[in-house]
Amino acid sequence: MTAPSESFAPRRDEPLFGRLAIIGIGLIGSSIAHAAKELNLAGRIVLSDRDEAVRTRARELDLGHEIADTAAEAARDADHVILCVPVGACGAVAAEIAASLKPGAILSDVGSVKNAVVEAVLPHVPEGVHLVPAHPVAGTENSGPDAGFPSLFLNRWCILTPPEGTDAGAIARTRHFWEGMGALVEVMTAQHHDLVLAITSHLPHLIAYNIVGTAEDLEAVTQSEVIKFSAGGFRDFTRIAASDPTMWRDVFLHNKEAVLEMLGRFSEDLSILTRAIRFGDGETLHKHFTRTRAIRRGIIALGQEKPETEKLRKP
């Protein structure tokens, strides 16, 4: 008998949920399936995807214990149902599975915006079912059922945004589920979540998509030159701008107010820097470039990232 190989997080003796349903088998859905199976977070894991090719691939990859043909079938009798579909699809999927949800079940999602998801999903939640929306702040530039891996959520934040009055026990079980996969859990309102993520995630993505597009359209600089000399800073933007287009389209359509607010502030600030460059105002530039270092120090102090030299020294 060989000893079981060590996992990235402790494996549970008893599963946390009897039946776990994962609707949508992309990067997040497949990662949850890997983690929940490896760590025994659910006795039975059933996945589904509306795309038949994805379901076939998920069976080949042996994700979870069963691949159901429909979302409703996957959700039937589940104790925890997680919608891992683009934000814009959450309402329709909730309507589709509503009749299959059993009383006491927790309905959750993993969307990057929360207010719009709550508004779209809540009308379909049957009496006795607990809606506990979640947003794991984790991802890679890859998408699809092959992209998932069990440690994706390790040491990453997962934000829960339960509507007011949500059952405390359901919130606690959802928290334990994410903590079980190694995530750090925080609870806040959907409104505040959308504002925080607008600046820490949505605006950076929009800016990254934008600058990569600008680079593509140049006539005087070739695309191969852009690629060749990208180490100067551009490369980091291309990684962000390689994220899933459908997911990000939905994020911007569904967190419009907060993103437009942050975009407005960003553009105002950029005008000041542009003006400083135009008029050769080195003092304004230097002052601005100095104060932005503080936030970086905070991120490194929090252990969310190592300084860059370490990475370079040990490639």
> Smallest distance from the beta carbon of 184 to its own copies, in angstroms?
9
250 binds its own copies (CB under 8 A): yes
156 binds its own copies (CB under 8 A): yes
Residue nearer to its own copies on the CB measure, 127 or 313 = 313
Listed ranges 55-63, 73-81, 101-109, 246-254: which one lies at the site for its own copies (CB under 8 A): 246-254
2 binds its own copies (CB under 8 A): no
> Smallest distance from the beta carbon of 108 to its own copies, in angstroms?
19
> Smallest distance from the beta carbon of 88 to its own copies, in angstroms?
8
Q: Which of 73, 125, 157, 187 binds its own copies (CB under 8 A)?
A: 157
Residue nearer to its own copies on the CB measure, 11 or 286 = 286
Residue nearer to its own copies on the CB measure, 11 or 235 = 235
Please give the residues from 167 up to 206 whose contact with its own copies meets the rule CB under 8 A: 186, 192, 195-197, 199-206
Please give the residues from 201 up to 240 whose contact with its own copies meets the rule CB under 8 A: 201-218, 220-221, 223-240
152 binds its own copies (CB under 8 A): yes
Residue nearer to its own copies on the CB measure, 23 or 113 = 113
| Mask for 99-118, x = binds its own copies (CB under 8 A) | -------------x------
Listed ranges 12-20, 32-40, 91-99, 145-153: which one lies at the site for its own copies (CB under 8 A): 145-153
Residues 6+ apart with CB under 8 A from 212: 234, 237, 238, 241
Q: Which of 138, 181, 183, 190 binds its own copies (CB under 8 A)?
A: 138
Query: Which helix (H) or strand (E) is 298 found in, with range?
Result: helix 293-301
